[in-house]
Amino acid sequence: MAVVCRNLRAFAQKTSSLRCTPNFLRLYSQSKPAPPKLVTVDVDKAGVATVTLDRPPVNSLNTGLLEELGVAIKDLEANKTRGIILTSSSNSVFSAGLDILEMYEPKKQNLSLFWTTLQNTWLSLYRTSIPTVAAINGHAPAGGCLLALSCEYRVMVGPKFTIGLNETQLGIVAPQWFMICMKDAVGRRQAEMALTAGKMFSTQEALNIGLIDKMVSNKEEAIAEAQKFIAQFAKIPPLARRMTKESIRQEGIKYMEENAIDDLKAFMDLVVQPNIQKGLGMYLEAMKKSK
Ligand SMILES: CCCCCCCC/C=C\C=C\CC(=O)SCCNC(=O)CCNC(=O)[C@H](O)C(C)(C)COP(=O)(O)OP(=O)(O)OC[C@H]1O[C@@H](n2cnc3c(N)ncnc32)[C@H](O)[C@@H]1OP(=O)(O)O
């Protein structure tokens, strides 16, 4: 503020008609609003946090949103929150997955930061000792499905939305840790069938194979079911719960701890390939044309 004031005073002296008054400063600060938050957090009386992805129009996961989500999880851990409900501010999209614009014609440094942030935020969500539920109130393709799969329980609004790891349909291979998350939820056999076909499941199909745990008809019901799931842990000794979660999720945790650098390198090498860049460009065009 002192620097702003000094600069303004110098400017005011030059123009002589302006003074560095509180009113002037208020007008100046109003003209530079803080960027909107991409993730909001509301903690209820029971200590359960609703974490809402809020990046219209489709909550595509860019570095900024992923960074905010990671910070939110760490803050909630520090505050001993009793549960996290991950949801979306949109009425039709939980998350459209990774932001393709982060990968299209990228600067190397930005691309590296993007993927590292995704890895770190994913690991924070996947391994947090806090009970986690995805209240999936819209479509959840690819990275959107990954976020939901990283939670312990999935409640999805149906019947019209879809969810799945559709990477093969886009001509790419989902990273190993995406696959581990799918295997965690539906088992190896169903995961193989889902991933090789890049299948997007209707809500009912997702329920049938265990990709989601419950289908509901609106967001309010999804939040209520999520709260019910979290409430059951009030009676479970937290240390036993935490150690059990950490242990049962060992494959994914260990994979990321041991392979983060190789995984980053593989991603960086792949994305800059001319054929991948061409594919991304065409995909972006196709999305625009389909409107
Ligand atoms: C794709 C190849 C990636 C290659 C990278 C190499 C390896 C990387 C390894 C792995 C992992 C990748 C996982 C991913 O998550 S990739 C992203 C996959 N996501 C999708 O395929 C979803 C695409 N989007 C949709 O299907 C729809 O948008 C949907 C979510 C169903 C919502 O539909 P609707 O409500 O009708 O909205 P629009 O389609 O009109 O979209 C509105 C605007 O948002 C833009 N958009 C949509 N999705 C993305 C996205 N993922 N990234 C960036 N932008 C996106 C869309 O273009 C519209 O923009 P505009 O208004 O400017 O036209």
pLDDT tens for the chain, 291 residues long, are 333 334 433 333 333 333 444 554 455 556 678 888 999 999 999 999 999 999 999 999 999 999 999 999 999 999 989 999 999 999 999 999 999 999 999 999 999 999 999 999 999 999 999 999 999 999 999 999 999 999 999 999 999 999 999 999 998 999 999 999 999 999 999 999 999 999 999 999 999 999 999 999 999 999 999 999 999 999 999 999 999 999 999 999 999 999 999 999 999 999 999 999 999 999 999 998 887
Start-to-end CA span in the chain (Å): 45
Phi, psi of 126 (to 5 degrees): -65, -35
β-strands 48-53, 214-216 pairing: unpaired
- For residue 159, cis peptide bond before it (omega within 30 degrees of 0): yes
Residue 143 Cβ < 6 Å to ligand 1: yes
Residue of 99, 100, 284 to test ligand 1 pocket, by largest number of atoms within 8 Å of CB: 100
The answer regarding whether domain 39-290 maps to CATH 3.90.226.10 reads yes
Residue 144 Cβ < 6 Å to ligand 1: no
Residue 170 Cβ < 6 Å to ligand 1: yes
Please answer whether residues 135 and 228 qualify as being in contact, where contact means their C-beta atoms are separated by less than 8 angstroms.
no
Q: Which helix (H) or strand (E) holds 243?
A: helix 238-248
The pTM is what? 0.90
Domain ranges of the chain: 39-290
